């Protein structure tokens, strides 16, 4: 008996962990909802509150308190029954319907293409199509099987090169005890769109459950398992005879999942910019809230913000002036089609220098958006 006691003491924490850590399965995905599954999400400032726990906090039985997040906008995540979307297009029905084979979908969602250069083509009404494994399938997965968009008024389906190269978003069951898993996906625009333009993306996705515990947001307090998703993307675009391929900065999605909620309760997305992991978006499950607009505060920030020299010579730093006492803020630089060049956090106001290394080899028109807790302002800068 004495010999068994050390063994029991060693496995007791593991037994407790298995009892408390949530186990996410196929029933927690949005694909099973009948009718329309509309989920409200609040978007908060990418400048996390000073009291927010560090993203490096991991392990068993953690406590994350994000109750002080303040929504700046809201949106509704909508997942539609497949029949609702395929009824609008025979091409969608043949590609993602019952005759779609490995591309058959179980749910569709109005979402933008997951590609930085997506705005380079004249597309509208974009969808992503997903497949959830059946309850009896040997491999339980939730995966992306393709996309759809209207090109010059015609619905054009986009599929992955093969079933083996579809984007596997989750494998089930998923819990803190699950090992890391990865998938490599690759999709391209079909030949029907080649005369207008070409888009493709190669992606490596790695999911790593790294913690479980209690999460608190303005929406409530929940038992969650956290999954960190690492996305490594290479996008290619060809429009008007100009072709370009580029590697995107490494993206990480810190997602807190809970039973029955169908979408992450909290998602904090970061990008690796100039060697620094930088928060780019914060989004959490929420109820309807009246958003307090910061228009008058935006005017004050806009009046005080300057960016110079402009035009900016390659190799020269960009100088920003911010009101003293403005507190922490972020600077996001995008090109004219919305592709992010960099994002940097800063601790306070005054004269700020942004080193030329943040811009990389980019030349042309940049839109610099400065976001503080007092408001937002944008400046147009030309880099020669």
Angle at 215 between CA 212 and CA 218, to 5 degrees: 165
Q: Tell me, what's the pLDDT at 18?
A: 46
Task: Specify the length of the chain in residues.
Answer: 384
97 vs 364 pLDDT, higher one: 97
Mean pLDDT throughout 263-291?
87
**Mean pLDDT over all residues of the chain?**
82
CA dist 304 and 379 (Å) reads: 12
Q: Which two tokens stand for residue 324?
A: 């003293």
Is pLDDT at 193 greater than 80 in this prediction? no
CA dist 34 and 300 (Å) reads: 47
Mean pLDDT throughout 50-70?
92
Using a pLDDT cut of 90, give the percent of the chain over it.
39
Q: Tell me, what's the pLDDT at 13?
A: 47
Q: Tell me, what's the pLDDT at 16?
A: 43
- For 228-258, the pLDDT digits (tens) are 999 999 988 776 666 677 788 899 999 999 9
Question: Number of helices and strands (H, E) in the chain?
Answer: 4, 22
Q: Tell me, what's the pLDDT at 340?
A: 81
Is pLDDT at 315 greater than 60 in this prediction? yes
Q: Tell me, what's the pLDDT at 294?
A: 47
112-116, 168-172, 298-302: which has the highest mean pLDDT?
168-172
Is pLDDT at 303 greater than 50 in this prediction? yes
CA dist 256 and 94 (Å) reads: 36
Beta bridge partners of 74: 42
Q: Tell me, what's the pLDDT at 255?
A: 98
Mean pLDDT throughout 249-273?
93
- Phi–psi pair at 344, nearest 5 degrees: -135, 135
223 vs 2 pLDDT, higher one: 223
Confidence of residue 160 (pLDDT cuts 50, 70, 90): very high
CA dist 343 and 338 (Å) reads: 13
37 vs 308 pLDDT, higher one: 308
Is pLDDT at 175 greater than 50 in this prediction? yes
Is pLDDT at 292 greater than 50 in this prediction? yes
42 vs 72 pLDDT, higher one: 42
CA dist 180 and 171 (Å) reads: 10
Confidence of residue 116 (pLDDT cuts 50, 70, 90): low
66-75, 220-229, 276-285: which has the highest mean pLDDT?
220-229
**Which residue segments constitute the domains of the chain, with CATH numbers given?**
26-285 (no CATH), 295-383 (2.60.40.3080)
90-99, 208-217, 332-341: which has the highest mean pLDDT?
208-217
The answer to whether the beta carbons of residues 300 and 77 sit under 8 Å apart is no
Is pLDDT at 132 greater than 90 in this prediction? yes
Q: Tell me, what's the pLDDT at 149?
A: 85
Q: Tell me, what's the pLDDT at 153?
A: 77
């Amino acid at each position: 008996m004495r010999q068994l006691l050390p063994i029991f003491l060693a496995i007791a924490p593991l037994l407790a962990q298995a009892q408390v850590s949530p186990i996410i399965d196929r029933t927690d995905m949005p694909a099973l909802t009948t009718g329309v599954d509309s989920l409200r999400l609040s978007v908060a400032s990418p400048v996390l509150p000073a009291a927010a726990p560090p993203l490096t906090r991991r392990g068993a039985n953690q406590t994350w308190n994000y109750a002080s997040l303040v929504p700046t906008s809201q949106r509704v995540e909508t997942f539609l029954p497949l029949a609702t979307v395929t009824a609008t297009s025979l091409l969608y029905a043949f590609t993602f319907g019952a005759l779609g084979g490995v591309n058959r979908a179980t749910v569709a969602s109005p979402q933008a293409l997951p590609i930085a250069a997506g705005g380079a083509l004249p597309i509208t009404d974009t969808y992503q199509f997903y497949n959830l494994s059946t309850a009896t399938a040997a491999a339980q997965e939730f995966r992306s099987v393709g996309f759809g968009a209207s090109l010059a008024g015609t619905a054009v389906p986009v599929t992955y090169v093969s079933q083996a190269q579809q984007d596997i978003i989750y494998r089930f069951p998923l819990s803190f005890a699950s090992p890391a898993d990865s998938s490599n996906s690759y999709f391209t625009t079909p030949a029907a769109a080649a005369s207008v333009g070409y888009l493709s993306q190669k992606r490596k996705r790695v999911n790593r459950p790294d913690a479980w515990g209690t999460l608190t947001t303005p929406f409530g307090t929940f038992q969650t398992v956290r999954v960190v998703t690492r996305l490594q993307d290479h996008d290619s675009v060809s429009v008007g005879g100009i072709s370009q391929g580029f590697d995107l900065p490494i993206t990480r999605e810190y997602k807190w999942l809970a039973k029955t909620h169908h979408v992450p309760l909290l998602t904090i997305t970061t990008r690796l910019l100039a060697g620094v992991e930088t928060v780019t978006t914060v989004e959490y499950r929420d109820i309807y809230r009246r958003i307090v607009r910061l228009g008058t505060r935006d005017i004050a920030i806009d009046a005080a913000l300057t960016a110079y020299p402009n035009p900016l010579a390659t190799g020269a730093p960009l100088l920003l002036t911010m009101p003293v006492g403005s507190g922490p803020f972020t600077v996001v630089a995008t090109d004219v089609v919305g592709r992010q060049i960099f994002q940097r956090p800063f601790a306070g106001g005054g004269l700020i220098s942004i080193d030329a290394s943040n811009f990389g080899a980019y030349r042309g028109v940049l839109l610099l958006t400065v976001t503080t807790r007092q408001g937002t302002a944008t400046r147009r800068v030309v880099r020669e």
